[in-house]
Structure 1
Amino acid sequence: MDSKSNSVINPDPSLYNEDLAPVPKEKRTWNWISYSMIWMGMIHNIVSYELAGSLIAMGMSVWQALGAVIFANVALIAAIWLNSAAGTKYGLPFPVLIRASFGYKGAHIPVLTRAFVAIFWFAVQAYAGSKAVGAVITVLYPGWASLGDYSFWGMGLNDWIGFGTFWLLHAWVISHGMERVRRFEMWAGPLVIVLGLGLVYWAVDVANGFGPLFSIPGTLAGDEFWKSFFLSVTGMIGVLATLVLNIPDLTRFSKSQRDQVIGQAVGLPIMMTFFAFMSIMITAGTIIAFGKPITDPVQLLVQFDNPIVVLLGAFSLLIATLSVNVVANVVSPAYDLINLIPRKLNFVKAGIISIVIGVFFAPWLWFNNAGTIFNIIGAIGGTLGPVSGIMIVDYFLVRRSQYDLNSFFVKDGQYTYRNGWNPRAFIAMSMGVIVALIGLVVPSLHSLYTYNWFLGIAVGGVSYFFLMRSNQKSITTVVEENAIIK
């Protein structure tokens, strides 16, 4: 069977619909520029800026901070490239591909876990972005703050209007499907670069050149530095680690493997390092200008006390937050929900349901005191590393890069296992989760939690490989038969 075709023979309606089906070759129109712009939109945002800038606030020098950024991006792009390959080859999204390793029923567990985490982060980003909406409106309407006197369900009327406006912007972007998402990302990412370059110019000017910015010494040394280094690396990976799983949702539209490889190389490690470099330089500039590091870009804009600067800067940050939220936290749960109810849902309906559910996380009630909740969500996110390891090992080592396309959409194919469940995958996933999260419950092993994603992806993948070896003979036979047919 041609992996580029859309030919699925007698699919089961409970496992198949148009959004889950292989993308036909004529609709795979995304080139390397598309992926570069999409990644620019995802990484050029407030959270990424603050993370990079915080490295300076932690006591790193500019060069040490850049080293941490580069290390994190190399690890991320390696995992993303590996998990992109199957999506590009077969034109299938993450919720379908994962049926190969977990079974068509078992796949619902990691899929819904990923959806839960994505919708949670949608809510957080939507609330953070609504503050940028408020900043824009405040410049245009000075009486905006007075609307906060009218409050219900924990938010003032002004914040509700800002949140509602930002929510509607999400609905508008996704209302015409993935093609509108792609077009939006084509200009959203570069817009933030313009803002960043403007702030870099300010930092260089206030420091009287690049030299003083690079000469700010680090205050970390020895074991303290390395502990902070790896903690920072894990934090930066954590922001985008969930995308390692659902990257096939995007690469299924790629014209070729070459397009997604080059596009993602330009968009993630190269542009992320460039963006981080800008935020690091700007944060170093705030130390010189204000005597302290300011890592929040909104707070930095306020320091200029200039309505034009605040208006344009807040608008850029609003677009940046909308950009990352749509791609990272709406596209994925939309496909996840479609996978759950393919007979009833399509991409637009599932996307709207996702952002409606996000409202009920009510981040405004706990956003400023969210330590415990973020720890819980971090632990849930830690379960996704082993799933990534399992998917990568299944495709490259167990299946030898050959899937049986039709088996994804029937209940009596290769991926049926035991009534739709693959116990080996769940054993491997459990082993990976235990190792990744054991530092949370065993004080003497707490340092391991710093590396939870690395440990999870490695233990999950290796465990799955050895557990599947007992089933390798039958799998190898099917793979060889498929190769002959192709």
Structure 2
Amino acid sequence: MNTNLVKEKNGLEVMDPSLYNEDLAPVPKEKRNWTWLNYTTVWMGMVHNIVAYETAGSLLGLGMNVWQALGTVVFANIILIIAMWLNSSSGAKFGVPFPVLVRASFGYNGAQFPIIIRAFVAIFWFAVQAYAGSKAVGAVLGVLIPGWNSLSDIHFIGMGLNDAIAVALFWVLHAVIISHGMERVKFFELWAGPLVIVLGLGLVIWAIVVSKGFGPLFNEPSTLSGAAFWNVFWISVTGLVGTWATLILNIPDFTRFARSQKDQVIGQGIGLPGTAIIFSIMSIITTSGTIIAFGRPIWDPVELLQAFGNPIVLILGAFALLIATLSVNVAANVVSPAYDLVNLFPKKLTFVKAGLISVILAVFFMPWLWFNNAGTIFNILGAIGGALGPVAGIMIADYHIVKRRNYDKASFYNKNGQYAYKKGYNPKAFIALVIGLVASFIGLMVPALKDLYTYSWFLGIGFGFFSYIFLMQSSGKEKSVDKLEGASSTTN
């Protein structure tokens, strides 16, 4: 027996230790205990964040009225949940995370490419969200501690000492939550998500009171009609979908713990389109209220809190932003790179160690130096997220069409298994990836087709999906012909 292989562990016959450890192994049936409620609350925690609030509220700033904005949000979330369901069922069925599942389409070596990009995006996004959340920490400390703001005169690694302390405290909070593994994540999200909803209702009540009823909120006119509206509509839908494009890839990291397919389907169905739409309604109503109260739409929650000029409101609001950012960052931007890093170094890392490393690596992006250019950064992140659309298309096509929802679990951890392809790389997947990327960014590369960039995520996932199916089925036919010819020559 090859001494580099592990035999008869976790129900798998042969495993290569460079492809396997306990965190990458299939979750045993007895440990798949996440119910529909857990998935609902996890999604509640993830969708209730500063970026999601600003994105929904900013639709009014683009000229939409409340009804147009709500329709846009509903449509985008229908697209999102369909994509999530398609890519999450494999995780629930086989109990393995994204870095393992992607080996089936790209090969055990080729999988490292989408894994590294996905980890980079998540850690980068974590840095942005964490720094934004640290502002809420600083706002609370500024109210509670006399002389706190004077610490800004003392500079430390490019920021005031007060900001540095707030950043450090917020980073430590993330580390505490992740230090106890996925069970700590599950229980944190169980109460964090609903709490944010309750706090968000406070802003809705304020908007209704200041507007003296719902009427004025829903009667604000739209400045868009005809072609102008549809152009903004599709740009907005692409942006809303692109916000979660990366999580579409690693949703199996969560559904691998599902008690059943029914639990993850129902839980995500309630949690993603359900609570996302409710949260967007809160944002849109509140933003509409700011038009009446302040004469202009304010979709930045920090700016809105400052506009109230009330320390109690500031503390409560900052606490809401703190919980919102913690919940989305832990679930969306720590869990995924943790599994990605474990996949890269399975012999040395565990989930908890990899999660803590991800939190530490995020510091080196030093968001406090460039956060004022957040608009540009979000565009870059959106482009990177759009680039992952073809990967999602390839994974969905591989599982549902090419492999017909049937994977060989042992081959995930065996370099001589079904997913070895050519030295661990599947050339067909990379060709499909290139085709999908060209489709995604053709609007940037060819000025005459610039309008196509509005649909970049849709083009990427679509071309990745269909080109992968075509390439894999074509190769299957070639193999069948070769076998027939071989059989014929043997008979002769």
Is residue 2:94 matched to residue 1:90? yes
Is residue 2:151 matched to residue 1:163? no
Superposition pairs of residues 74-473 of structure 1, within 5 angstroms: 74-472=78-476
Q: Which runs of 5+ in 2 are unaligned?
A: 1-8, 481-492
User: How far apart are 1:296 and its partner, in Å?
Assistant: 1.1
Q: Secondary structure of the residue that 1:9 maps to in structure 2?
A: strand
AA partner of residue 240 (structure 1): W
Is the 8 Å Cα contact of residues 243 and 385 (structure 2) preserved in structure 1?
no
AA partner of residue 402 (structure 1): N
CA distance in 2, matches of 1:213, 1:371: 27
Deviates more, 1:465-474 or 1:288-297: 465-474
User: How far apart are 1:444 and its partner, in Å?
Assistant: 1.6
Q: Secondary structure of the residue that 1:148 maps to in structure 2?
A: helix
CA distance in 1, matches of 2:57, 2:382: 21
* TM-score normalised by length of structure 2: 0.94
Deviates more, 1:68-77 or 1:435-444: 435-444
Percent identity for Structure 1 against Structure 2: 67
User: How far apart are 1:457 and its partner, in Å?
Assistant: 0.3
For residues 228-255 of structure 1, give each alpha carbon's deviation from its aligned partner in whole angstroms, at most 9, with x where no partner exists: 1111111111111111000000000000
Matching residue of 1:63: 67
Is residue 2:21 matched to residue 1:17? yes
CA distance in 1, matches of 2:323, 2:476: 48
CA distance in 2, matches of 1:475, 1:105: 23
User: How far apart are 1:379 and its partner, in Å?
Assistant: 2.9
Q: Which runs of 5+ in 1 are unaligned?
A: 477-486
Matching residue of 1:31: 35
- Aligned CA-pair RMSD: 1.4
For residues 417-476 of structure 1, give each alpha carbon's deviation from its aligned partner in whole angstroms, at most 9, with x where no partner exists: 001000000000000001101212222211111111111000001000000013336999
Deviates more, 1:442-451 or 1:255-264: 442-451
Aligned residues between the structures: 472
For residues 247-266 of structure 1, give each alpha carbon's deviation from its aligned partner in whole angstroms, at most 9, with x where no partner exists: 00000000000000000000
Task: Report the CA distance shift for 1:21/1:354 in structure 2 as closer, same or farther (over 3 A).
Answer: same
Matching residue of 2:486: none
Matching residue of 1:483: none
CA distance in 2, matches of 1:280, 1:331: 30
User: How far apart are 1:299 and its partner, in Å?
Assistant: 1.6
For residues 358-377 of structure 1, give each alpha carbon's deviation from its aligned partner in whole angstroms, at most 9, with x where no partner exists: 11111111111245544444
Matching residue of 2:46: 42
Deviates more, 1:148-157 or 1:428-437: 148-157
Is the 8 Å Cα contact of residues 390 and 436 (structure 2) preserved in structure 1?
yes
In our comparison, the structure showing a higher alpha carbon Rg is 2
CA distance in 2, matches of 1:377, 1:270: 25
CA distance in 2, matches of 1:183, 1:174: 11
Q: Secondary structure of the residue that 2:185 maps to in structure 1?
A: helix
AA partner of residue 141 (structure 1): I
For residues 44-64 of structure 1, give each alpha carbon's deviation from its aligned partner in whole angstroms, at most 9, with x where no partner exists: 111111111101111101100
Task: Report the CA distance shift for 1:46/1:371 in structure 2 as closer, same or farther (over 3 A).
Answer: closer
User: How far apart are 1:272 and its partner, in Å?
Assistant: 0.6
User: How far apart are 1:141 and its partner, in Å?
Assistant: 1.1
Task: Report the CA distance shift for 1:372/1:33 in structure 2 as closer, same or farther (over 3 A).
Answer: closer
* TM-score normalised by length of structure 1: 0.95
Is the 8 Å Cα contact of residues 118 and 328 (structure 1) preserved in structure 2?
yes
Is the 8 Å Cα contact of residues 444 and 453 (structure 2) preserved in structure 1?
yes
Is the 8 Å Cα contact of residues 60 and 69 (structure 2) preserved in structure 1?
yes
CA distance in 1, matches of 2:298, 2:133: 19
CA distance in 2, matches of 1:25, 1:261: 18
User: How far apart are 1:203 and its partner, in Å?
Assistant: 0.7
AA partner of residue 295 (structure 2): G
User: How far apart are 1:309 and its partner, in Å?
Assistant: 1.3
